[in-house]
Every structure is written in C-alpha cells, then in structure tokens.
C-alpha cells in the first residue's frame, strides 16, 4: 500500500483528492458524507454576500452517446447566509479534524471586509482559505471573480488583503480566461499566496436548441455565457498547471483542477506538478462514491511502479514540457508511421485522413487489406495513428535523422555562421 497522504502548503490530508468548491460542498451534510466515503478534503462552496441564483443553471456537452463530457454552469457563489456556512464549517472541522477543510471566499475589494471575513473563517478551525478569483459569470459582472483574476494588479492586491489578515494558508484559485496564466499566477505569489489552484471554469456557450432556438441552458428563453468544466477541459488545465509549475517565479505548491474523473487523470495532474487534486464535475455526475476507484486506482498504480508515496509523483513529468523552440526539428528527429499489416482490419481511415488531411503518403495496395506508408514522404504528424481504431496497429517509429538541433540552436548556428 502506497502512502497517499499529503502535506500541501502545510495543510495535511489523508489523500490528495479534494472536492472542488461548488454544488458538492454546499452543506455540512454533503461534506461529511463525502469524508465518510473517503475524500481527503473539501473546498467549501464559495462564501460571500449571499446571492440569488437563476434556473436552469447547467448544460451538458454529450459526445458519442456518453453524457457530460463537458459541463457548463451559470450558478453563482453560495446563496446561504454567511453565518450558516461558517457554523456548518465549524461543525465539520470539529467532527473531522484530520480532513482538509478549505473555505472558498469572494468579497468586494475592501481590506476591512477581508480582514473581518478572514478572521471569522479562521475562527471556524478551517485549514485554509481559497480565494475565488475565477468565476467567469455573474460575479464578474459585479467586479468579483474572474475580473479580479484577469487583472494581475487586482489579483495581487486582494491576495494581499487576505494574506495579511490570515494565519492559515491562503490558496488563490485562478481563472483560465486569460491569455497567459503565468501573469495572474505571479501576481498572486507576489501578493503572498501560499499556494495556487487552477483551473476554474472556462467561458462558454453550450449550444442552441434547434427546435426552439433557445440557448442551453435556458432561463425562460434567454441564456448567458457560463463556466465550462468536466473531462473536456483537462488538456487546458494541464497546460496551465505545467506552465506555472515550470515558471521559476511561481514558487508555491499547485492544486490541480479541471476534468479529473479517473485515477489516470489524477496521475497525469500529479506528474505535471499538482500537489493536490480537486474534483467537481465527475463527482456531480456519479456521486461521492467515485473516490473508491480514484484512491484504489492511484494506489495500484503507485504499487505497480514501486513508488512509496504519492508525493514522489508530483512534477516528475513537468520538466519535459517547455518551449516549442527547444524541440528537435524534423531534420534532426522525426517519427514515421508504420502500419502493422497483420493487425489491420481494412477500414482505410488512415488512408483518407492522410490523403485529405495530411501529406498524401499512405497508399492503398490492390488486393491487400492494409494500406502502405511511403515512409520517405511521411512527416510523422501522428494523424493516421490517431484515427486508427486498432490500438497498436499503426506504430510511430522514432528515427534519428541528424545531429540534435532545435530552433533555438539553429538560430544560434545561423547567426554565428561565417
């Protein structure tokens, strides 16, 4: 059995799986039920001046017969009175002293308000604070949420209000609705943040009902941009996570959020630098019970690789992601598609993909099932192997083509050339 416990910016938890701030963490009932199922921590539904919600609030992107590959919401922060939330947080912390209870907060940009609220939150015994600078809808139109996260100076300033008042760790939750995540990340660190979490939801419009021309989700015939999350957003989250992890100016631990559904997703986030993981959509879809598969699967993975502690996984793959300029150019290194004819089922998807969408280097051979790659023309883009329905049938074979040279090296060479 591997050791799944973690110490994240001084916050300890029995495992790295926390529920993300959202409808799963609205009440003590839910959070305690989740802890009983095995979740290691929870970030309380963002506490602030109570709001009024609309209905309906959620929209789903279904794909290939499967539900909720992506989820969109126009829900705001907690609609419950602050006192009620704080009383329940206190109760949860009293009953579950060894689980991580983090309180997500969102208030107007007023230092006095922050000082007062941080003290009231700390008084509950909570282990940490998460600043919600991320919600892209509703709150942003009132000067909170993602409008803070999109302007580095605001991020730094409000982070400082909270950090100066707090004696427990302050995590800043970033919005992905920016051009370069490093700007708000660095600003939060400059403001004193003890950790960053990301991503919050992505601005999106889910769709239109083709019969009624009403938007999805539909609030009495009207819609609005909402926050997108779920399995579909994972690649965006992984990009932002790794770029912060690899940024020398971001010196604090990172909490990975966005599209985590299985232990495999979790392992990828850990490898790219997440010290803790938060889950929202997957648990909304299937319930708290998925924690069993998450912990069991992650544990089996660590055991199988002989890794004793989950913390030993954190960031292991991140150094492999960097600038395009540092990748070997194709005259130095490339991969070449090779079709294993014995495994080919004759669907011709690779042929048409290469012919129409790539570089016209797959040929059909009369009388034979398997098409053939003209290897000398193949640029090694991967497309054929991605469309091939048979795993392993199209292999991308690495080829050393010349001395190691990247774009950066090439530029340097050409500049210094006589």
Partner 1 sequence: MAIPVDQPPQFAEVVPPLTPREAEEEALRCYYCYDAPCIKACPTNIDIPRFIHHIVTGDLKASARTILDANILGATCARICPTEALCEGHCVRTHDSRPVSIGRLQRVAMDYAMTQGVPALPPRPRHGSGRVAIVGAGPAGLGAAAELLRAGYQVEIFDRREEGGGLDTYGIVSYREPVAVSLFEVNMVRQLGAKMHLGETVDAPRIRALQRDFDAVIVAVGLGKVPRLAIPGEDLAGVYDALDFIEATKVGDFGAFPVGERVAVIGAGNTAVDAATCAKRLGASEVTIFYRRGEEAMSAYRYEYEFAKQDGIRYQWWAQPVAILGTQRVNAVRFSRTRVDGPVTSRSAPVQLVEGSEWTVPVDTVIRAVGQEKTLELWSALGCRVADGRVVVDPETYETSVAGIFAVGDCLARPGEATVVQAVEDGKRAARAIDRMLSEKSAR
Ligand X SMILES: Cc1cc2nc3c(=O)[nH]c(=O)nc-3n(C[C@H](O)[C@H](O)[C@H](O)COP(=O)(O)O)c2cc1C
Catalytic (active-site) positions:
135
Residue (108 or 300) nearer to partner 1, CB: 300
Q: Is 347 helix (H, G, I), strand (E, B) or coil?
A: coil
Torsion, Cα of 408, 410, 413, 414 (10° steps): -110
Instruction: Decide: is 71 part of the binding site for ligand X (CB under 6 A).
Output: yes
Where are the alpha helices (H) located in 98-179, listed in sequence order?
111-122, 146-149, 152-165
Among 62, 123, 180, 300, binds partner 1 (CB under 8 A): 300
258 binds, among ligand X, partner 1, none (CB under 5 to 8 A by kind): ligand X
Tokens describing residue 119: 């003290």
Give the integer Cα–Cα distance in Å for 341 and 167: 64
Instruction: Decide: is 256 part of the binding site for ligand X (CB under 6 A).
Output: no
The least distance separating partner 1 from the CB of residue 345, rounded to whole angstroms, comes to 10
Give the integer Cα–Cα distance in Å for 391 and 382: 13
Across 296-317, b (16+ Cβ under 10 Å) vs e yields eebbebbeeeeeeebbebbbeb
Residue (124 or 334) nearer to ligand X, CB: 124
117 Cβ contact list (under 8 Å, min separation 6): 47, 82, 105, 107
Select from 6-14, 103-111, 284-292, 376-384 the region that touches partner 1 (CB under 8 A). Answer: 284-292
The least distance separating ligand X from the CB of residue 23, rounded to whole angstroms, comes to 5
Measured from the Cβ of residue 9, the count of other Cβ atoms closer than 10 Å reads: 20
Instruction: Decide: is 418 part of the binding site for partner 1 (CB under 8 A).
Output: no
Across 112-128, b (16+ Cβ under 10 Å) vs e yields eebeebbeebbebebbb
Site string for partner 1, 65-104 (x = CB under 8 A): -x--------------------------------------
Among 15, 73, 140, 334, binds ligand X (CB under 6 A): 73
Residue (141 or 293) nearer to partner 1, CB: 293
**Chain residues in the site for ligand X (CB under 6 A):** 20-23, 45-46, 71, 73, 75, 77, 104, 132, 134-135, 173, 200-201, 229-230, 233, 257-260, 279-282
């Amino acid at each position: 059995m591997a050791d799944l416990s973690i110490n994240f910016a001084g916050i300890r938890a029995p495992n790295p799986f926390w529920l993300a701030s959202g409808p799963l963490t609205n009440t003590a009932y839910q959070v305690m039920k989740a802890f009983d199922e095995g979740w290691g921590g929870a970030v309380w539904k963002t506490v602030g001046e109570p709001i009024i919600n609309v209905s309906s609030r959620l929209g789903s992107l279904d794909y290939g017969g499967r539900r909720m590959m992506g989820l969109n919401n126009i829900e705001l922060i907690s609609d419950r009175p602050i006192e009620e939330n704080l009383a329940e947080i206190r109760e949860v912390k009293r009953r579950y002293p060894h689980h991580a209870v983090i309180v997500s907060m969102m208030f107007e940009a007023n230092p006095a308000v922050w000082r007062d609220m941080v003290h009231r939150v700390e008084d509950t015994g909570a282990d940490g604070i998460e600043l919600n600078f991320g919600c892209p809808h509703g709150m942003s139109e009132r000067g909170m949420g993602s409008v803070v996260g999109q302007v580095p100076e605001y991020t730094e300033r409000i982070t400082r209000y909270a950090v100066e008042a707090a004696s427990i760790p302050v995590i800043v939750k970033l919005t992905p609705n920016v051009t370069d995540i490093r700007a708000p990340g660095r600003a939060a660190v400059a403001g004193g943040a003890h950790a960053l979490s990301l991503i919050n939801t992505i601005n999106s419009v889910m769709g239109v009902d083709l019969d009624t021309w009403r938007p999805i989700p539909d609030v009495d015939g009207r819609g609005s941009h909402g926050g997108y999350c779920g399995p579909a957003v994972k690649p965006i989250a992984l990009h932002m996570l790794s770029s912060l992890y690899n940024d020398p100016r971001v010196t604090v631990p990172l909490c990975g959020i966005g599209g985590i559904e299985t232990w495999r997703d979790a392992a990828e986030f850990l490898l790219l630098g997440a010290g803790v993981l938060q889950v929202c959509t997957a648990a909304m879809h299937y319930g708290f019970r998925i924690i069993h598969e998450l912990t069991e699967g992650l544990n089996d993975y660590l055991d199988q690789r002989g890794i004793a502690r989950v913390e030993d996984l954190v960031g292991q793959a991140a150094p492999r992601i960097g600038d395009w300029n540092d990748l070997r150019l194709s005259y130095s290194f490339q991969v070449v598609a090779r079709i294993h004819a014995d495994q080919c089922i004759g669907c011709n998807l690779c042929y048409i993909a290469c012919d129409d969408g790539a570089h016209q280097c797959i040929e059909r051979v009369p009388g034979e099932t398997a098409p053939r790659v003209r290897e000398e023309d193949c640029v090694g883009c991967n497309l054929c192997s991605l469309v091939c329905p048979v795993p392993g049938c199209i292999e991308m074979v690495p080829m050393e083509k010349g001395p190691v040279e990247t774009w950066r090296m090439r530029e340097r060479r050409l500049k210094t050339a006589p």
